[in-house]
């Protein structure tokens, strides 16, 4: 069934499967995971595909081992991925922090369901957005991409691998059960038409190489395992050699760098789509599946004569602070429908100009927003309430 | 932009999800339309209530859910009772006459019945009842072209069962209510 190394062409494909195919297209050859609804189809597809591509699929005993496994595979030079849902992310969170500290490229997929705890296994939510940003302890920069269709799940999986390799960190793909289990046409282009970024290896001689030395971009170069380079890494605060160093000076050089290597590249990482922003009175900000399920409400608002703009975030983290700040100077306010009880709306509030109104349209997950609720919020903001 | 919203309901195990997958594939791959298919099921699947839905559009499908249906396919009494209220005025109801026996007033829409499960049993396999229904839907509701539907079915079932499924499609396509 899968003789070819990659599928090319048009397929009527489920979101989760498109994610697995995106990973394969990006060069992922190691998957470690533990099954959970609604992400299991990603693991099933990888189990079917990776052995034929000389890759490795391991179903581990749990999610803690899964994330440890993909960090190890990444360190050995493989592009690696795991896929789970909120409960699994909670278990992985400690080692995601280790990945941030080691600067290990990998992709962590969260097909979000309703939470907290085991919540709604077969239904959807968007309530893990803050967990993706702040889940593990300590300060670090992070990247989260949010697809709204099977095609975009494919595309953004490729992008997630590119960002992880370029900026050296675990990158989150924050899908949800509706996108994961939705089936639509997915076009998979030939590999030469895809932009694939691979990690940078040092050009220095082994005697000159330091594993955590960095240049202007703040990103250290890798050395290939087995090429004779001395390599050390640790979750402890470490110097450029990768050796533990508990001094304030070392902490003050390392941790701001982990934050700034993302912050300084926000223009490259931040992916957004804008519609009718020029001259808008109200801007609706949304991401993931919500960006599709609320569209009828936007049409209703337009029919009522409200000048409405629309900003869709494909990258939620790093948050587009500057963009929101600038937009807020021109509009009456923002409406933020999301399938949680207020997470990204807090970010919009933080970044928006003092005079602008920010209105959350909450939803606990397990259904979709009522159009009237979204419309009502838009009308209130348009009328300055 | 023309849009058709189809809801399919029945039990887990009847091929309810496969049916909407085949419709969506026929539309988007073989009829060159756009389509979006979604599904709903509980933590325990087989035998429980199950529904799936597909939106077919000449343009990108923006809103993927089916809150009001142009076509409702009912393969169980429970599915009929649950989803009849979302069928649009003037919409088309297609139902299995042996599985949906308690019928309400159908004056607001077009209702067409077929003993899909019985016809499938006559072909030797009850499991192709969903394909009989797809044949019926292709003819009666014109959801996709017959060619596209046949190609999508052939593409989506195990190769040794293609003949059986094609017969099932034809049985549904040719079925005449007055028979």
Q: Which helix (H) or strand (E) holds A179?
A: helix A177-180
Question: Among the listed ranges A79-83, A270-274, B100-104, B110-114, which one has the minimum average pLDDT value?
Answer: B100-104
Q: A2 falls in which pLDDT band (50, 70, 90)?
A: low
Domain boundaries, chain B: 3-174
- Residue B177 pLDDT exceeds 90: no
Q: How far is B177 from chain A (nearest CA, A)?
A: 33
Mean pLDDT over B115-142 rounds to: 97
pLDDT of residue B179: 47
How many angstroms separate the CA of residue B43 from the nearest CA in chain A? Answer: 7
**pLDDT tens digit sequence for A170-213:** 999 999 999 999 999 999 999 899 999 999 999 999 999 999 99
| Chain-chain contact of B62 with A121 (C-beta, under 8 angstroms) | no
Of the candidates A243, A247, A245, A218, the residue with the CA atom closest to the CA atom of residue A232:
A243
Residue B3, min C-alpha distance to chain A (Å) = 14
Average pLDDT, chain A: 96
Span A51-85, pLDDT tens digits: 999 999 999 999 999 999 999 999 999 999 999 99
* Biggest CA pair distance of chain A: 70
CA distance A186 to B48: 30
Between strands A183-188 and B34-40, the pairing is antiparallel
Tell me the CB-side half-sphere exposure of residue A293, using CA atoms within 13 A. Answer: 27
What whole-number percentage of chain A has pLDDT above 70?
99
A48-62 CB burial, b ≥16 within 10 A, e <16: ebbeebebbbbebee
Q: Is B109 on the interface with A (CB under 8 A)?
A: no
Residues 6 or more apart whose CB falls under 8 angstroms from that of B172 comprise B114, B116, B119, B131, B132, B133, B134, B135, B136, B137, B138, B139
Which pLDDT tens digit goes with each residue over A281-324? Answer: 999 999 999 999 999 999 999 999 999 999 999 999 999 999 99
- Domain boundaries of chain A, sorted by first residue: 9-193, 272-382
If pLDDT is split at 50, 70 and 90, which confidence band does A122 have? confident
Q: What's the pLDDT band for A1 if we cut at 50, 70, 90?
A: low
CB contact under 8 A, A184 and B29: no
Q: How far apart are CA A360 and CA A347, in angstroms?
A: 11
Q: How many CB atoms lie under 10 A from the CB of residue B161?
A: 15
Q: Write down the H helix ranges in B66-161.
A: 77-83, 116-122, 129-140, 146-156
Architecture of the domain defined by B3-174: 3-Layer(aba) Sandwich (3.40)
Structure confidence at residue A355 (pLDDT): 86
> Does A9-193 carry CATH code 3.30.700.30?
no
Contact indicator for B45, B111 with CB cutoff of 8 Å:
no
B129: cis peptide before it, omega within 30°? no
CB atoms A292 and B35 under 8 Å: no
CA A30/CA A15 separation, integer angstroms: 20
Q: How far is residue A128 from each of residues A80, A125, A134, measured CA to CA in Å?
A: 22, 8, 10
Tokens of A154: 């494919």
How many Cβ atoms sit within 10 Å of the Cβ of residue A103?
22
Q: Strand A170-176 vs strand A315-317: parallel, antiparallel, or unpaired?
A: unpaired
Q: Is B158 on the interface with A (CB under 8 A)?
A: no
User: Checking phi first, is residue A54 left (phi over 0); if not, alpha (psi -120 to 50) or beta?
Assistant: left
Task: Please indicate whether the domains covering A9-193 and A272-382 agree at the CATH topology level.
Answer: yes
Mutate to test the interface with B, among A10, A183, A293, A296 (most CBs of B within 10 A): A183
Pairing of strands B34-40, A333-338: unpaired
Judged by phi (left if over 0) then psi (alpha if -120 to 50, else beta), residue A249 lies in alpha
Query: Taking a C-beta distance cutoff of 8 angstroms, is the pair B100, B82 a contact?
Result: no
Running DSSP on this structure, what letter comes out for residue A222? B
SS (H, E, C) A113-152: EECCCCCEEEEECCCCHHHHHHCCCCCCCCCEECCCCHHH
Considering the segment(s) A272-382 as one domain, its CATH architecture is 3-Layer(aba) Sandwich (3.40)
């Amino acid at each position: 069934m899968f003789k070819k190394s990659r599928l090319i062409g048009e397929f009527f494909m489920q979101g989760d499967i498109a994610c697995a195919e995106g990973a394969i297209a990006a060069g992922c050859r190691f998957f470690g995971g533990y099954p959970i609804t609604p992400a299991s189809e990603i693991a099933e597809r990888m189990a079917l595909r990776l052995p034929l591509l000389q890759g490795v699929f391991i179903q581990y005993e749990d999610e803690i081992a899964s994330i440890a496994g993909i960090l190890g595979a990444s360190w050995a030079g493989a592009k690696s991925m795991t896929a789970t849902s909120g409960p699994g992310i909670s278990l992985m969170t400690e080692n995601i922090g280790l990945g941030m500290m080691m600067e290990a490229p990998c992709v962590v997929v969260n097909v979000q369901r309703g939470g907290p705890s085991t919540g709604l296994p077969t239904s959807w939510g968007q309530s893990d957005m803050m967990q993706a940003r702040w889940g593990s302890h300590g300060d670090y920069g992070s990247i989260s991409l949010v697809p709204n269709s099977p095609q975009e799940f494919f595309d953004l999986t490729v992008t997630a691998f590119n960002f992880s390799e370029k900026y050296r960190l675990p990158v989150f793909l924050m899908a949800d059960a509706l996108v994961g289990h939705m089936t639509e046409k997915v076009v998979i282009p030939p590999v030469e038409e895809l932009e694939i970024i691979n990690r940078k290896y040092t050009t220095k001689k082994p005697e000159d190489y330091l594993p955590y030395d960095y240049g202007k971009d703040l990103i250290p170069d890798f050395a290939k395992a087995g090429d004779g380079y001395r390599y050390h890494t640790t979750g402890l605060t470490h110097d450029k050699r990768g050796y533990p160093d508990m001094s304030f000076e070392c902490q003050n050089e390392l941790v701001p760098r982990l934050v700034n290597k993302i912050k300084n590249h926000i223009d490259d990482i931040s992916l957004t789509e804008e519609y009718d922003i020029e001259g808008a009175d109200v801007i609706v900000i949304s991401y993931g599946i919500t960006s599709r399920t609320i569209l009828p409400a936007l049409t209703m608002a337009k029919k009522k004569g409200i000048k409405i703009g629309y900003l869709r975030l494909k990258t939620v983290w790093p948050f587009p602070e500057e963009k929101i700040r600038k937009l807020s100077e021109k509009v009456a306010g923002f409406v933020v429908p999301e399938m949680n009880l207020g997470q990204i709306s807090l970010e919009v509030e933080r970044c928006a100009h003092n005079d602008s109104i920010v209105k959350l349209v909450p939803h606990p997950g397990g259904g979709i927003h009522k159009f009237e609720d979204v419309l009502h919020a838009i009308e209130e903001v348009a009328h300055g309430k | 932009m023309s849009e058709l919203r189809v809801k399919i309901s029945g039990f887990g195990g009847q091929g309810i999800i496969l049916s909407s997958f085949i419709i969506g594939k026929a539309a988007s791959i073989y009829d060159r339309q756009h389509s979006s298919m979604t599904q709903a099921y509980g933590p325990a699947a087989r035998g429980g209530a199950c529904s799936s839905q597909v939106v077919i559009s000449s343009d990108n499908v923006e809103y993927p859910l089916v809150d009001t249906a142009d076509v409702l396919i009912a393969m169980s009494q429970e599915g009929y009772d649950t989803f009849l209220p979302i069928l649009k005025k003037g919409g088309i109801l297609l139902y299995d006459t042996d599985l949906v026996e308690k019928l309400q007033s159908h004056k607001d829409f077009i209702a067409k019945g077929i003993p899909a499960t019985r016809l499938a049993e006559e072909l030797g396999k009850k499991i192709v009842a969903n394909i009989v229904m797809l044949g019926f839907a292709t003819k009666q509701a014109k959801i996709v072209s017959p060619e596209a539907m046949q190609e999508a079915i052939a593409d989506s079932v195990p190769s040794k069962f293609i003949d059986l499924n094609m017969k099932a499609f034809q049985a549904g396509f040719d079925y005449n209510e007055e028979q």
